[in-house]
Structure 1
Amino acid sequence: MGNTSPRPPALNQDSVDGVYTQRREDSCQNLSTSSSGRSFASVNSHQSTFSVSRPWSRVSRRRWKESTLTLPYESSKTAWPVSQIESFFLPEFPFRSEGKHFTNLGEINKGAFGKVYKVSDEKGTLYALKVLSKSKIIRENAVQQVKDEVRIQRVCGHHPFIVDCPFHWQSKKRLFIVSNYVAGGELYDLLKTYTVLPVALVKLYVAQLALALDFLHNAGVIYRDLKPENILLDASLNVQLIDFGLSKWLPYGKTTRTICGTFLYMAPEVWTGEEYGHGVDWWSLGVIACVMLTGKYPSAEPDSGQFSTVLPQVGLDGPARDLLQRLLQVKSAQRLRTLRALKNIAFYKGYSFDDVKDRQVNPKELLPEIPEKLGDDFEGFDESFVTQL
Structure 2
Amino acid sequence: MGNSHHKSVENRNQKHSVHARDGQAYTSQFSLSHFVGNLSGRSFASVTSGQSVYSASRPWSRVSRRRWNDSTLKNPLEASKTAWPVAHKESIFLPEFPITTDLIQKDFEIIASIAKGAFGEVLKVNKLSENKEYALKVLHKAQIVSENAVRQVKEEARIQAAVGHHIFIAGAVSRWQTKKRLYIVSEYIPGGELLALIDKYSKLPEELVKILLAEIAVAIDFLHNAGVIYRDLKPENILLDSDCHVQLVDFGLSKWLSVGARTTTLCGTLKYMAPEVMQRDPYGHSADWWSLGVLTCRMLTGEFPTPAVRMSAIRDEERLTSASLTDRSDTNDSVMQQSTPILPKPGALPDSATKLSKPARALLIRLLETEPKVRLRSLRQLQQTAFYLGFNFEHVKAKKLSPKRVLENHIQTMRPAVSNEENNCEFIEFDQEAMVL
Tell me the TM-score normalised to structure 1 length.
0.75
Counterpart position of 2:411? 369
Counterpart position of 1:106? 112
- Checking the alignment, whether the CA contact within 8 Å between 1:97 and 1:168 is kept in structure 2 is no
Write out aligned runs for 1:121-140 (5 A): 121-122=127-128, 123-140=130-147
Return the offset for 1:328: 0.4
Please give the root-mean-square deviation of Cα atoms over the aligned residues, in Å.
2.9
> For residues 159 and 119 of structure 2, what CA distance do their matches in structure 1 show?
18
> For residues 127 and 109 of structure 1, what CA distance do their matches in structure 2 show?
14
Return the offset for 1:306: 9.6
Return the offset for 1:124: 1.3
| Aligned partner of 1:151 among 150, 155, 158 | 158
Within the alignment, does 1:328 sit opposite 2:368 as a pair?
yes
Return the offset for 1:327: 0.5
- Checking the alignment, whether the CA contact within 8 Å between 2:55 and 2:62 is kept in structure 1 is no
Q: SS state of the match for residue 224, structure 2?
A: helix
Return the offset for 1:154: 1.4
Q: Which has the higher helix share?
A: 2
Q: Which amino acid aligns with 1:114?
A: G
Counterpart position of 2:58? 38
Query: Using a 3 Å threshold, how does the CA distance of structure 1 residues 299 and 42 change in structure 2: closer, same or farther?
Result: farther
Return the offset for 1:125: 1.2
Return the offset for 1:312: 1.0
> For residues 83 and 141 of structure 1, what CA distance do their matches in structure 2 show?
18
Q: Which amino acid aligns with 2:97?
A: F
Tell me the TM-score normalised to structure 2 length.
0.67
Counterpart position of 2:347? 309
> For residues 325 and 311 of structure 1, what CA distance do their matches in structure 2 show?
8
Return the offset for 1:307: 3.6
Query: Using a 3 Å threshold, how does the CA distance of structure 1 residues 300 and 166 change in structure 2: closer, same or farther?
Result: closer
Q: SS state of the match for residue 114, structure 2?
A: strand
- Checking the alignment, whether the CA contact within 8 Å between 1:268 and 1:330 is kept in structure 2 is yes
Aligned residue pair count: 311
| Aligned partner of 2:94 among 79, 90, 96 | 90
- Checking the alignment, whether the CA contact within 8 Å between 2:275 and 2:308 is kept in structure 1 is no
- Checking the alignment, whether the CA contact within 8 Å between 2:122 and 2:138 is kept in structure 1 is yes
> For residues 235 and 57 of structure 2, what CA distance do their matches in structure 1 show?
54
Return the offset for 1:274: 1.1
Q: SS state of the match for residue 36, structure 1?
A: helix
> For residues 40 and 202 of structure 1, what CA distance do their matches in structure 2 show?
56
Write out aligned runs for 1:164-203 (5 A): 164-203=171-210
Q: Point out the structure with max Rg over C-alpha.
A: 2
Return the offset for 1:39: 2.8
Query: Using a 3 Å threshold, how does the CA distance of structure 1 residues 138 and 343 change in structure 2: closer, same or farther?
Result: same
| Aligned partner of 1:346 among 382, 386, 389 | 386
- Checking the alignment, whether the CA contact within 8 Å between 1:97 and 1:167 is kept in structure 2 is no
Return the offset for 1:169: 0.5
Return the offset for 1:158: 1.2
> For residues 220 and 258 of structure 2, what CA distance do their matches in structure 1 show?
14
